[in-house]
Amino acid sequence: MYLLGGTGRAFTQMVLPGMTLCVFWSFIVFANLVFCPSNATITSLLGNETDRVALLAFKRGISSDPLGALISWNNTLHFCKWKGVTCSRHHQRVTILDLSQQILVGYMSPYISNLTFLREINLQDNSFNGQITQEIGRLFRLRVLNTSVNSLGGEIPANLSRCIHLQAISLGNNNLTGQIPSELGTLRKLKLLEVQSNFLIGSIPPSLGNLSSLTDLRLRSNHLEGSIPDELTQIQSMVSFVLSDNELSGTISSSLYNISSLEGIAVMENQLYGSLPSHIGISLPKLQFLLLGGNQFTGPFPISLSNASRLQWLELQYNHFSGPVPNLGSLQHLTEIYLWGNQFGTGKADDLSFITSLTNCSFLESLDLIENHFKGILPSSITNLSTHLSWLQLGGSQIVGSIPSHIGNLINLQYLSICKTFITGSIPTSIGKLRNLQRMLMYENMLSGQIPSSIGNIAQLNMLNLNENNLTGSIPSALGNCKNLEAMLLSKNNLRGAIPRQVIGLSSLSIVLNLSHNTLTGSLPLEVGNLIHLTSLDVSSNILSGEIPTTLGNCESLTELYMDVNSFQGTIPSSLSGLKAIQSLGFSYNNFSGSIPKYLEELQLLTYLNLSFNNLLGEVPKQGVFRNASAISVIGNDNLCGGITELKLDPCPILDKEKKRKSLVSTVIISVASGPLGLIFLLCASVALYRLRKPRTKPSSTSSMEGQHLKVSYAELFKSTNGFNSANLIGVGSYGTVYEGILGRDENIVAVKVLNCQLRGVSTSFMAECEALRNIRHRNLVKIITSCSSMDFGGNDFKALVFEYMPNGSLEKWLHPKLDEQYKLRILNFNERLNIAIDVASVLDYIHHHCHTPIAHCDLKPSNILLDEDMNAHVCDFGLAQLYSRITSKSSKEQSSTIGLKGTIGYIAPGDVYSYGILLLELFTGKCPTDDMFKDGLSLHKFAEMAFPNRTIRFLIPYSH
Ligand SMILES: *[C@@H]1O[C@H](CO)[C@@H](O)[C@H](O)[C@H]1NC(C)=O
Ligand SMILES: *[C@@H]1O[C@H](CO)[C@@H](O)[C@H](O)[C@H]1NC(C)=O
Ligand SMILES: *[C@@H]1O[C@H](CO)[C@@H](O)[C@H](O)[C@H]1NC(C)=O
Ligand SMILES: *[C@@H]1O[C@H](CO)[C@@H](O)[C@H](O)[C@H]1NC(C)=O
């Protein structure tokens, strides 16, 4: 008792010395049992330590166990109780390791081969990688090895042949390479050999013919080549023989067709040839599937197949079978018949009469007969086929007759294709009953009459192709109800009337909408803008007229747009610059006028542009698609000029006025630059202009502000800017980003300035800008159209101002273009520069002196000066504006702290006129104040020194405030 009550260490010391101690303690029964067991007792109580070590090693090989399959694999629990482990009751040795479908990632530890009592390994459906260890050959009790659906690589271990009790080998769906080891032929008990979907090469070893118990051979989807060994076709136990999708060649030995136990033959997609024995249906009475598609088989359809009464799948497609198709009505279990791409048919009128016999096959799901040599009449009994039928494909042969009016009986049809036939008559209205139909293909027939509007009832319809028939009438607007339609092709018919807005606005269309080669009239409805997912739109060769709706620019997925051969008119709208994905554009043979839009140069993917035979005028651009003469066509437009030389167009005339101005500018510049006091003169002159000049115009009377300060919603702005798309981004201002958008019923182009509500002070800025712009109007101020202060879809504060759009962008861009923009912009001429200076001066004069509350802009700089179409300057960004009345009412301390921090460094203090001075220097010298200069506060003096090196600069500029 003393010893038992002692410390753990003493306790162990007592136990380990073994027998001597045991003898001493042997009178204590309890102790004898626990501490002095025989070897056999250890095994039975603790199991075999080797197995535990092996399992733990196996666990270490697993790097990811998201489902926690191996959580229970710990030392407190006996390994026979670990998840997935089954032990023999007597020896406590591991017999089954089942870790299937556990999403395990890792390698198969070679320690697994120490589990010598293993009978089953089930690791299927995981992500084991690495190789299958050769050591696996030590598991001589193994019956089942299943590692299918993993990522195992390397070769199939030939040592597997030492596991002589193996009954099933499943190694399918891995990355196994190399050849099938011929040694496997010794596994006399093997019933299943499955290595499908790997990368196995070489030929099938003839030794596999010795697998005398084999029932299932699955070698599908590898790169096996050579012929099918005759030995393999002599295994009398064979049930399922699957060799599809390899590179096997030669013929199949006729002995295969005598294995009466055979239930299935699948050798699709190989290069096999030969014909089927005429007795096949009798010698293979259990046949359930016969899949021979995609080979070079020849000969007739064996009539005896109608005796293989269990036949379910018959796939003979894409071979060279010929002759008549027998009646198959006796095959009650038939579900699939694929005969397409053969030479079946006799040329007689009853070629398709076997279809009538198929009405007995009440489980028929698929019938595919296209591209054969069938002639004769389409039997109306086709509507009596099984209601399970989901796939029906006819055509590609000289079938006549019409589509039976009760086609709507086949209520489970999902795929209906009757194409390239001589079938006449109309499309039956009952087609609308096919509520499960997803694809309806009836192109290249001789169908006439109207498109039934009942098609609109087919909500699942995904593809509708009625190209090349003689259909008449108008396009039913009910087609717009098919909200799952991705492709609609109605080309080359006699359809007339207008394009229904419901149809052209069907936003599910994503693949193609082809309405070409009809006699459609009217204009292209605005709803075309809904087609934001569509890739190909073709409305060519109709009688469509009117202008291109600007909404077409919304279709940003379009890669092809063909509007050729119609009577469209007007200009090509600027909104089409939104077609960022466009590759081919056809506008030929219309009445388009105006100039060729410059943005076409910038559509990066555009490789085909046909503008021929319109009334376009002016300069042909030279960049982008216009660089390649073979990519564009501009002929048949009489007033085009310029472009690349290959086009052989006249050069564009230089206007006389422009010439004169040019020479004037150069004289002025020369005199300014040469005269020592030139610059000073210039500055003074400008300031004098600012001082003296009366506003050039009265405040504009076209009120864009008054009364109509209608608020616009977040959703409207979202839509107008394509969801604040980066493609619409035109600038980043002091407090937010500016997008181009299309707003309102008139589809005006606007600039939407979205304030970044995360920034501090943005609210104040918003208010300042609204307030400043509320009551002032001047032709050189950017007009505010409306504003928006609400929540975005995420419930965050959203503030935006909508301004009129200034097509020529900011002065900043013209003075200091970014490298990638340089090619687009010409250099401003002197006149333009002077006009800009005057425009800005007149704004400052107006806001300082002529508003009823004087305003200071406080952030005057080139990026806040925008240029309109005629290069008139418009001052914008009043986000920092200060109303003098308010400033003066505040304490001077407060005032300096607010103003002092605002504005862009270098342009600020002491005021707008100071900024104006900097602006003038930039404007006329083209020099840009460097970052360096900004650091210690840019002085006008320093900048002037840089701009005019080697000159003494004196300033006579009066500071205004
Ligand atoms: C455990 O198994 C291994 C391998 O089969 C064997 O060598 C060893 O003798 C066994 N140990 C016991 C205690 O049975
Ligand atoms: C061992 O696994 C069992 C079963 O999952 C669990 O109950 C036990 O807490 C685990 N022990 C340790 C020490 O993790
Ligand atoms: C178990 O297997 C590993 C690797 O195959 C080997 O190194 C080890 O000696 C084997 N035996 C025991 C008893 O763990
Ligand atoms: C092996 O696993 C796969 C995938 O789960 C399964 O289809 C196959 O029948 C299994 N093989 C055996 C012999 O159990």
Is the fold of 702-805 the same as that of 810-961?
no
Instruction: Kindly give the pairing relationship between strand 873-875 and strand 865-867.
Output: antiparallel
663 vs 707, residue with greater confidence: 663
Q: How far apart are CA 446 and CA 402, in angstroms?
A: 9
Å from CA of 952 to ligand 1 middle:
103
Ligand index nearest the alpha carbon of residue 111: 3
Residue 234 has pLDDT above 70, yes or no: yes
Q: Domain 495-653: which CATH class?
A: alpha beta
Average pLDDT over residues 651-680: 48
Å from CA of 129 to ligand 1 middle:
29
**pLDDT cut 90: percent of the chain above it:** 60
Domain ranges in the chain are 6-31, 495-653, 654-693, 702-805, 810-961
Ligand 1 atom with minimal separation from the 116 CA = 5
Question: Across-strand partners of 121?
Answer: 97, 145
Q: How far apart are CA 359 and CA 349, in angstroms?
A: 19
Å from CA of 122 to ligand 4 middle:
8
* Model confidence, pTM: 0.63
pLDDT digits (tens, 9 = 90+) for 258-317: 999 999 999 999 999 999 999 999 999 999 999 999 999 999 999 999 999 999 999 999
Ligand 4 atom with minimal separation from the 124 CA = 2
Instruction: Please indicate whether residue 48, judged by its CB atom, sits closer than 6 Å to ligand 1.
Output: yes
Å from CA of 426 to ligand 3 middle:
78
**pLDDT cut 70: percent of the chain above it:** 78
Determine whether 912 is an active site residue: no
The pLDDT value given to residue 944: 65
Non-local (6+) Cβ contacts of 750 within 8 A are: 720, 740, 741, 742, 743, 785, 802, 803, 804, 805
Non-local (6+) Cβ contacts of 938 within 8 A are: 905, 906, 907, 918, 929
The pLDDT value given to residue 596: 94
Going by pLDDT thresholds of 50, 70 and 90, the confidence category of residue 929 is: low
- Which residue, judged by its Cα, is nearest atom 11 of ligand 3? 114
Residue 254 has pLDDT above 90, yes or no: yes
- Contact 568/541 with Cβ under 8 angstroms? no
Q: How far apart are CA 825 and CA 621, in angstroms?
A: 13
- Contact 899/858 with Cβ under 8 angstroms? yes
Half-sphere exposure of 870 (CA within 13 A, CB side): 5
Instruction: Please indicate whether residue 170, judged by its CB atom, sits closer than 6 Å to ligand 4.
Output: yes
Instruction: Please indicate whether residue 50, judged by its CB atom, sits closer than 6 Å to ligand 1.
Output: yes
Task: Name the helix (H) or strand (E) containing 841.
Answer: helix 830-845
Å from CA of 91 to ligand 1 middle:
10
Residue 495 has pLDDT above 70, yes or no: yes
- Which residue, judged by its Cα, is nearest atom 3 of ligand 3? 111
The pLDDT value given to residue 933: 59
Instruction: Please indicate whether residue 111, judged by its CB atom, sits closer than 6 Å to ligand 3.
Output: yes
pLDDT digits (tens, 9 = 90+) for 786-801: 777 777 766 677 788 8
Residue 413 has pLDDT above 90, yes or no: yes
Instruction: Please indicate whether residue 540, judged by its CB atom, sits closer than 6 Å to ligand 4.
Output: no
The pLDDT value given to residue 448: 97
Tokens found for residue 105: 């990632």
Instruction: Please indicate whether residue 48, judged by its CB atom, sits closer than 6 Å to ligand 3.
Output: no
Tokens found for residue 499: 């394009």
CATH superfamily of 702-805: Phosphorylase Kinase; domain 1 (3.30.200.20)
The span from the first CA to the last CA of the chain, in angstroms, equals 105
pLDDT digits (tens, 9 = 90+) for 332-391: 999 999 999 999 999 888 899 999 999 999 999 999 999 999 999 999 999 999 999 999
Instruction: Please indicate whether residue 171, judged by its CB atom, sits closer than 6 Å to ligand 4.
Output: no
> What values do phi and psi take at 778, rounded to 5?
-155, 145
* Selected catalytic residue, list 351, 538, 845, 859: 859
The dihedral through the CA atoms of 203, 206, 208, 209 has a sign that is positive
Å from CA of 48 to ligand 1 middle:
6
Half-sphere exposure of 893 (CA within 13 A, CB side): 0
CATH superfamily of 810-961: Transferase(Phosphotransferase) domain 1 (1.10.510.10)
The pLDDT value given to residue 798: 79
- Contact 223/247 with Cβ under 8 angstroms? yes
Q: Which residue has the tokens 């002529």?
A: 850
Mutate to test the pocket of ligand 2, among 55, 56, 72 (most ligand atoms within 8 A of CB): 72
pLDDT digits (tens, 9 = 90+) for 801-814: 888 888 888 888 77
Average pLDDT over residues 953-959: 45
Instruction: Please indicate whether residue 192, judged by its CB atom, sits closer than 6 Å to ligand 4.
Output: yes
